[in-house]
Amino acid sequence: MIELPVGLPSELVPLSWLIGVWEGSGILDYTVDGEKVTREFGHRISFSHDGLPHLNYSSYTWLEPEVTDAAATDDSAPAAAPPIPLMTETGYWRLSRPQQAGDPGPGLLPGVGAAPYQTAEAVETLRNADGGFDIEVSLVHPGGVLELYLGQVKGPRIDLATDAIVQTSGAKPYAAATRLYGLVDSHLLWAWDIAALGQDLRTHASGRLSRAA
C-alpha cells in the first residue's frame, strides 16, 4: 500500500507511487563510433513535491572504477577508488492540462481565484480515453540539452516520448528519446532509448531501483 504524503495536491495522486528516493543499478549499452559501450552504473533518483501540482525530479548516476586483475589479487593494492560521477538531470513531472487563471505564472505572477483540480473528482475529469492520465515531463541536462516528454501514467506504468528537444550550440547530437517506468514487486524499473550521435532510436540504458530507507 502506498501512503500519500501530507499536503499532496490531488493532481499528483496518479504519480504518487513515484515519490521518494530510489537507489540501485543499471546497464548502459550503446554503440559509439562503431564500438559497443557496455557498463554497469549506480543510480539514485529522487521524486518530491513542494505543495504545487508537480513533482520535483533529480537523477544522479555514477560508474564504479574498473578493477584490474592485479589490484584484485594484490593485498598491498591501494584502497578502492571512489565512484566516478557519470550524469545528472533535473526537472518536473505533472499532469498535462491547460493552465488556468488559478495557476501561478507566467513568471512570478500569482494565480487569480481558486486553484483548479483540488479534489479527486475534479482530477478524474482529466482521465484520457485509454483510462490513464496524460503527463508532461521537462528535463534539463548539464551538457546543454533540454527535453520535453509527453506521455501517460496508467496505474504503476509510465510511457514517455520526446515532443521537443532544445540544444545549445556545443551540445552533443541528441535527436529523440523514449522512456518507460514501471513499479514491479516494489521496485522501480526503467528503460531509456535514445536517438543520438547521428543514430536512429535504439536501446541506451535500463535499470532496477529499490526505495531507499
pLDDT digits (tens, 9 = 90+) for 131-157: 999 999 999 999 999 999 999 999 999
**DSSP labels, the chain:** -PPPPTT--GGGGGGGGG-EEEEEEEEEEEEETTEEEEEEEEEEEEEE--SSSSEEEEEEEEEPPPPPHHHHH-TTPPPPPPPEEEEEEEEEEEE-----TTS--STTPPP-SSPS--SHHHHHTTB-TTSSEEEEEEEEETTTEEEEEEEEE-SSEEEEEEEEEEE-TTSPPEEEEEEEEEEETTEEEEEEEEEETT--SEEEEEEEEEE--
pLDDT digits (tens, 9 = 90+) for 79-129: 678 889 999 999 999 999 999 999 999 999 999 999 999 999 999 999 999
Annotated binding-site ranges for heme b: 172, 204
Annotated binding-site ranges: 172, 204
Domains of the chain: 10-211 (2.40.128.20)
